[in-house]
Amino acid sequence: MSHGPQLTVSAFFSVVVLLLCSNPVIGRWGPRDGDGHDLALQGKAVVHAGHRLERAIVPDYATARKAHLIGKNEDVICLPKSPALPLPEDDATFTFGQANIQGWAIFYQSNYSVAFVKPKCVVPGHVLVMPLKSTKRILDMQPEELADLFLTAQHVQRGMELFHGVSSSMIAVQDGPDAGQSIQHVHVHIMPRRPNDFKENDEVYDELNKHDKEPAAGWRTKEEMKKEADELRPFFKSL
């Protein structure tokens, strides 16, 4: 079954690394990468053929040369996410395509991105990450904005998995109207997944395409959304 040009996070991370490889940067991935245990970034991740990710510390990366860090198709650099910024006031307003996001809905903010709760969810814990700058398509984003968006999405994914006690997520970007985008502003869907949450796994794509285009049933109140955001704020601050 074809679901149109749904975009994958792995593809975007590859683009981000290529865009920013001119600057030596370092990050941290642990030997249990992907299970939600490594929440910080501090060091260099090196992939060797036939082996899992191994952590290596680079003492003075500011003076290291790109050739030394990247190597020849062997080493992979993990980028450091932006530090979390103070959250906005509840009455602050952020443009989100044709809509607005109020400050009370935001539970995490970085230099270029925010994460917020949404009025209608495909699964419990379904949240969005968007760039602060009004941008319709990923193709329109600057490298530093793109890097920040997906590093923030990764951080939010791990946090939401920990918060909901799950070990899987669906990450999706509907980039353009033919891909199902209804809000003309780049945004990343973070959806914690649970065993058997859909009869057929691919049903989640159909639900994503139609969930916010249907009548009022299932839409949450401001009070319900704010309650979720108020619970997520201190949780993400503690990560």
User: Which listed residue (155, 185, 187, 211) is catalytic?
Assistant: 187
CA-wise closest residue to 28 among 41, 16, 46:
41
Q: How far apart are CA 170 and CA 172, in angstroms?
A: 6
CA-wise closest residue to 169 among 161, 177, 180, 181:
161
Cβ atoms of 233 and 156 closer than 8 Å: no
185 is catalytic: no
- For 120, the token pair is 């209608």
**82 backbone dihedrals φ, ψ, rounded to 5°:** -70, 150
CA-wise closest residue to 118 among 237, 232, 239:
232
Instruction: Check the CA dihedral 147-194-165-185 and report its sign.
Output: positive
Count of beta carbons in the 10 Å neighbourhood of residue 163 = 16
The residues annotated with a catalytic role in the active site are: 187
